[in-house]
Structure 1
């Protein structure tokens, strides 16, 4: 590094040797088709999952209020 406070610029760019590029590009094959989907079964599974989620939420809220009420009654 030099003792000067001047910027010397970026390093010198060395060009690549001639002929460094690939001669040809391999083309990928066509994508495979997706398997068929059973939309009625998917909708039924989503409905069951929604029902389970609602019940778990309802039970959680009921337990939270139970703990709150027991805590308030025991503190009095």
Structure 2
């Protein structure tokens, strides 16, 4: 590196401190957090079980279709 000052990087800007006596005018304090609505855990579990069942059936049908297409492709080749 060279010590030339031909418009290259001049370093970071100078840090200017705030004037003496400067303070933040006010600090906003947050209010109390809201209460969450009650949850129906049984309904949530039932919905998750139905979603899991649908996912398993979609996967099963997709794999069956994949093997059917593979077998048809091998037999007709």
Q: TM-score range by the shorter chain?
A: 0.7 to 0.9
Secondary structure, in 3 states, of the residue corresponding to 2:35?
Answer: coil
In the alignment, what sits opposite 1:40?
42
Deviation at 1:14, TM superposition (A): 1.8
How many residues align? The count is: 71
Structure 1 residues 53 and 10: CA distance shift in structure 2, 3 A? closer
- The residue correspondences of 1:1-76 to structure 2 (distance < 5 A) are 3=4, 11-75=13-77
TM-score (structure 2 length as normaliser): 0.79
Once superposed, what is the RMSD of the aligned Cα atoms?
Answer: 2.1
Structure 1 residues 54 and 10: CA distance shift in structure 2, 3 A? closer
Structure 2 runs not aligned, ≥5 long: none
